[in-house]
Each structure stands twice: as C-alpha cells, then as structure tokens.
A and B are shown apart, each in its own frame.
Chain A
Amino acid sequence: MKYFSTIFLFFYLVKFLFSQDIQKQLQSQFILAKPGDTIHIPSGKFELTKSLLLDGKKNLVIKGAGMNQSILSFKGQYEGAEGIKINQCQNITLMDFSVTDAKGDCIKALNTEKISFIRITVAWTGKISPKNGAYGLYPVSCSNVLIHECVAIGASDAGIYVGQSDQVVVSGCEAKYNVAGIEIENTTNAEVFNNYAHDNTGGILVFDLPELPKKQGGNVRVYNNRVIHNNTKNFAPKGNIVGQVPSGTGMFVLATPRVEIFDNLIEENKTVSIGICSFYISERKFNDSLYDPIPYQISIHNNRFLRKKANPPMNNKIGLLLKFKLGKKIPHIVYDGITRDEMLNGSGKLKDEFKICIQNNENESFVDLDADKNFKNITFDLAPYRCTMNVTKP
C-alpha cells in the first residue's frame, strides 16, 4: 500500500513536471521559430496554465498528431485570456490538434494574413455554462482565413467566429452545443459551406455590428450546410449580442448586406429557420455614422425547410415578440421589414439595389413583421420578394 501511494505520487509528479515542461517548450518554440519551420505538438493530453503566444512570425506550421491525439488543455489556466494567441503573423497553418477549456477564447488570431485552421478541435468540456469561454476559433482582423474540417463545442458565444476579416472560407466543420455555431461578423467575402451546425442556440449567424474599426461586412455566401435542431437554451452571458438570439434559430442575418443563402438543409429549429433583421432589434443605442443597421440585397433560394411546429422560447424578447404577434404559426423566414425611405421606390417597394429575394425553397413560408410601423401591417405575402439575386463568388 505504501509503495502504491509512492508510485501514485511519483506518477503525478512526472505528469506535472512534463506539463510544466511542455508549457515552456512550446512557448520557447513559438518564440524561436524560423520561417518554414514546423512545430510539432506531441501525442498526449497536456495541462497548460498560461496562454501560448505566437507573434510576428512567417510561414509556420503548428501540427499535432491528430485532433484526438494531441490535446492542449487549459483547465487550470491562471494567466492570459486565450489558449493560443496569434498576432501580426503571415501564413500560419494550425492542424491536427485540440485546444480545450481556455478561460477566454481557445484560439485567437489577430491581424494575421493567411491563417489556416485544419482539423482543429476547440471545446469546453462538461456541461454547457455561461462560464465557458466566448469563442472557439477566433480569427479577427485577418485576411485569407481558412477553417476546414474543424470541430467547435460548448462556446458561450460562438464556436467558430470570424470577425472583421476579409476573404474567408469556413467549410466541412461541425459546430455543436455553442450559443452560435458559426458566426461571420463585420466580415467581407466569406464562403460558408458543407458545414454541420447542430444543437446550438443559433446555427449560422451573419452579423454586422456598429462602432467597430471594420465598418461593414457583406458578400457572404452560405450554402450546402446542414443546420439542424439548434434548440439549445441560450447560455451566453446576457450582455453579449448573441445573448439576444432565441434558442431554435437556424440562421440569422443581422444588418449585413449582400448575403446569399442557398442549397442548405434547415431542419427542426423550433423558433425560426432564417431571420433577417436590422440592428434595431437589439434595442441597443449606437452612434456610428458609417454604419448601416439595415440589411439589404439578401437572397434566399433553393433551401429545404423542415419543422414540425414552431414553439419559440418565452424567456427571450424576440421569442416573446414572435409568439405574441404570430402565435404558433411562425413562418420559416422572418423579416423585420425595417427600411429607410431612400430604400423604397414610388410604390413603396424595395428598390433593386436594396432588394430581398426569396424563392424556390422547399416548404417556404414568410412573414414581414413591419416592425418600424409598430407591427401594423404584418404580411405573409411572398409576391413582392419573388426575384433572383446572386452574390458574386469572391
């Protein structure tokens, strides 16, 4: 027995020392790496306590032995807000490893040109909780972003979040049990396809927010995704904008212009399959003359909608509004109908350059909430929206 506990202690000591070792080893490699280097993350689960920072590097690959083989756990983190933070780099590829339980975001990439995440898992383990970190994969203010075959689980904001970036591909990823599965925010020229977003609060969100350095996103194409059963209760800390997304949201376009959504399978999202809304729905003040809070040039076609019956959450303002105005007959596509005078032609219809097109969707149904006229003329008529519009492939 005595021997057993000694061996046990010894085992933990070795494990502890080895983890300390990998913290210093990886951080030193991150600091000393030369262009063209590949930094290998060995097989095994490692406990790290501080953020790993990569700064000002070019042409690097950081590679693990597989997303289930090489795991960097930040459960005991006491310094830094991210698991890995990449800043001011060029041409960085991260592949085949996992980052779990970071205190803030799992992997953040800032001001980086050409960043690829390939077969990376980011996850908060255990029960979903507002105490989980905000973002799993978090490129912000980057260009040429590739996120391919990654998995994101349990983020209290967005599992895969691309912010204020340009030229973005998110493909073949799985996002589950996050508040937002995939979120594209203030980002231009993004392609989101072949992803599987399920059991989040909201599956795929395309948002533009005010008062940011990169003012307006747009030119976003969302296609061939499976967006299924995103009915997880909203567990975001309430102050965040995604805290206002009702559970049961398939897709949501907020204030972003030039968005094309097509060939998606959108199934069993209990509140709304696709929402199109202005920033006013957030009921937050803003002061930004260069920001347009109203979405336009939105095209929704050839999607397949499936849902038994709508039953929006009653603990959420948008959910309550829908329930109050529409009862259980919430259509698949919900549009707040907020416009500006200059967007309309003489007959009160949207001008061509501001049009919203909806057609050829299986099981489609629609409502214009007429929110800027206090919901006076709620209509379900799709006729004014029968048109075609394609967003050019970036």
Chain B
Amino acid sequence: MSGIVLIAATVLSMATSTAVKTTIAVEKKTFNYPYPTLSSYGLFIGIMKEQKPADRVIPYTLPTPLFSDYAYKLRFVYIPSGKQVTYHDKEVFQFPVGTILVKTFYYPYDFRYPEKGRKIIETRLLIHEENGWKAYPYIWNEEQTEAYLEVAGDTKLIQWTHSDGKKMKINYSIPNANQCKSCHESYGQMTPIGPTARQLNSEFSYNGVSKNQIAYWVEQGILTGVPKNESTIPKIAVWHDAAHYSLNDRARAYLDINCAHCHKTGGQAATSGLNLSIYETQMNLLGVYKAPVAAGKGAANMKYSIEPGNPDKSILVYRMESTDPGIMMPEMGRQLIDKEGVTLIREWISQMEKK
C-alpha cells in the first residue's frame, strides 16, 4: 500500500515539475538547438502530455495525411514573433528562420474510444535554422512526463485496440536523423512536406470554433501573400470522403501525401521516373503502362506500375500490400498495410480505362 502511495506521489511530483518547466516561453531560450529535452522548448503549457500549445504555437491539421501505422498525430507550428510565413500555391509555404514544426505521434489505448486515454510515443521537431531545416526526434518516457532527444532513433513495442476491436501490436520504429531526410528532402535540402496551401485550405476547430486554417493564419498575422480571391487557393481532396470528392481526386490526394515526398522531381525516388505528385499530368509518369526500372522483387511478375483496370497486375498495389522491407512502399515508417488506402487505390485502378 505504501508502495502505491509512493509511486502516486512520485508521478504527481513529476507532473507538477513538468508543468512548471513547460511554462517557459520559447523566446527566452538560447536557440542553441537541439535541446536535450522537449520541455526545454516551452512549446506547451501545463502538463506536457496534454499538448496544450503555448503562446505563438498554433495547432494545425492535414485533411489527407501520411499513413504511419495508424498512429494519430498532433501538429503545431511555432512562428517567432515579428516574422511571417509566405504563401505559395503549389509548394510548401516559406517559413521564416526560427520556425518550429511540431508533430506528436500517439496511439489511443482503444481506437473506439480515443478520449479514454492515449500513449504518446514521440514528438518530431523540424526547426528552420540559419543553415536550413533540421529534424530532431524526441522520445517520450514511460511516465509521459518528458521526451528526450535521440538522434539514432529507436524501436518501441506499441499495443492498442483497433477500431474493429482487434488487439494490435507492432514494433514502432522511431526514425534516426538521416531517416528523417529520406522523406523530407527536395533537391538535396531538408524540407517540410505537409503545410501546403492545398492541405491548409481546410477547417480546424480552434477551441471549439471551426475556421479555415489559412484564414486563421492570416487573422493571426503569421501568413502573407494569400490571394484575395479565395477560390483560387487549391484544396486537396479528403482521401476518405467519397461523399464530397471524386475517386480520382481522392486517389491523387492519397498518392501525393503518401508517395510524392520521394516520387517527385528532386525527391529521392526521382531516379525511378515514377512521379506521384498531385501536379503530374502525364499518365505514363504517374505509372500507367510504365515499366519498372530498379524495383527488384518489388516488381514481382508484373510489367507495369499501373495496369489500367487491373489492380492485381499493378506494381503500385503489390508494393502497398507488402510488409517485406525489400518490397514494400513507402520504404519506411510502415509495418502494417493501410487497408483503407489500398482499397482506394484498387478502386481507382479498377475504373481506369484499358488501352
């Protein structure tokens, strides 16, 4: 009994000390990044695991995000005072030096009742330093009171109850600093992926009030260069929202965020010739009747990345449906198959017209 009291007291004291620590504002820090602990950045107020953003730290969301083994993600952006983000219609927005993009990965214990508790695994920071973007992964402790910098990455056993009630268990992989760049690269430079006009042109609930994210950033004075005519701002399809978006738009949105960080001009998979960016207009470069180049066993016995009307003969589907590291796509950050994503891409290929 006394043991339990002791543990409870320790947890309580840890929680309080964290609360005190995290109220330090980012502006007062040394900027000598990276800090050894997440709390040192002062990005959150109160108890850190509640992830309540501090002043100048704005939460945001992507309507069509990257699949990461069903992990839930919380996203925040910190813009230094007096600085502004510059709008771009296609590319990732231009963020000022000093920007911190924050992404926290967690799993609810039970996906059917996500409000009933969660386990935070890691928080990744992308910091725009004087000499470019840098990625720093922070791993949360078991007590969920602090996260520590670990440039070499790690592996953690994660368990949860899935939305269908099934018990799930994976060896969740936390990337090392070089792995971060495998995805976050454009023409050799580290770069963010998510915060584009097409993704941020969507609603977010700010303390219960739903607003368009771009409009909100403008209102907060952190975003400049937004077109006067709102209808010219691109908007990405919500990949699972068949009621409002066409099959083609949803599939292209899915491929854009899940594949095009590598499969684009200037990306690490550019040498494959397969370009899955939402702006690719040539069907052959998108994979239609495109022969594989260096796919190895990823090509299996199939001739083309996409054979219209025939998902079972399309390399794209085959690699999405594999978990063998030598076959699967994306190459990392995934141990499970994104069943819903595969269903979408299968449907999309099925309805393509055969030549």
Contacts and interface: CB of A to CB of B under 8 A. Distances in A.
Interface of A: 24, 27-28, 30-31, 50, 53-56, 77-81, 85, 87-88, 102-105, 110-111, 130-135, 138, 140-141, 156-157, 161, 163-164, 209-214, 237-241, 282, 284-288
B289 A285 contact: yes
Given A80-B325, A237-B300, A213 B270 contact: yes
Nearest to B331: A81
Contact of A287 (B153, B176, B284, B296): B284
Contacts of B185: 87-88
Nearest to A131: B297
B129 to A, nearest CB: 14
Q: Does more than half of chain A's interface fall in helix, strand or loop, or is it mixed?
A: loop
Closest 3 CB pairs of A and B: A134-B296, A239-B299, A103-B326
Contact of A28 (B152, B270, B300): B152
A133 B176 contact: no
B192 to A, nearest CB: 17
Q: Does more than half of chain B's interface fall in helix, strand or loop, or is it mixed?
A: loop
Interface in B164-179: 171, 173, 176-179
A257 B182 CA distance: 34
Contacts of A210: 291
B297 A31 contact: no
B299 to A, nearest CB: 3
Interface string B37-80: 00000000000000000000000000000000000000000000
A49 B305 CA distance: 29
Contacts of A104: 296, 325-326
Most buried by B among A54, A209, A211: A211
Given A134-B295, A211-B291, A239 B302 contact: yes
Contacts of A87: 181-182, 185, 268
B9 interface: no
A285 B292 CA distance: 12
Contacts, number: 142
A185 to B, nearest CB: 8
Nearest to A237: B297
Contacts of B303: 239, 284
Contacts of A140: 271, 294
A56 B301 contact: no
A80 B296 contact: no
Contacts of B176: 27, 31, 53
A156 B297 CA distance: 8
Contacts of A56: 181, 188
B191 to A, nearest CB: 13
Contact of A54 (B152, B178, B355): B178
Contacts of A211: 273, 284-285, 290-291
Given A104-B296, A241-B291, 13 more contacts: A27-B153, A81-B331, A85-B182, A103-B324, A105-B296, A130-B297, A138-B294, A156-B297, A161-B294, A163-B294, A238-B301, A241-B293, A284-B304
Contacts of B270: 141, 213
B315 interface: yes
A161 B293 CA distance: 12
Contact of A31 (B152, B295, B324, B331): B152
Given A79-B173, A211-B291, A238 B300 contact: yes
A55 B181 contact: yes
Given A24-B152, A31-B152, A105-B296, A286 B326 contact: no
A104 B291 CA distance: 19
A81 B291 contact: no
A134 B315 contact: no
A79 to B, nearest CB: 6
B182 A53 contact: yes
Given A80-B325, A110-B271, A237-B301, A28 B178 contact: no
Most buried by B among A56, A111, A240: A240
B332 interface: yes
A28 B151 CA distance: 8
Contacts of A111: 188
Contact of B271 (A30, A81, A163): A163
A53 B294 CA distance: 19
B300 to A, nearest CB: 5
A237 to B, nearest CB: 5
A212 B293 contact: yes
A133 B295 CA distance: 10
Nearest to A78: B325
A78 B173 CA distance: 10
B211 to A, nearest CB: 39
Contact of B178 (A53, A103, A284): A53
Contacts of A240: 292, 295-296, 299
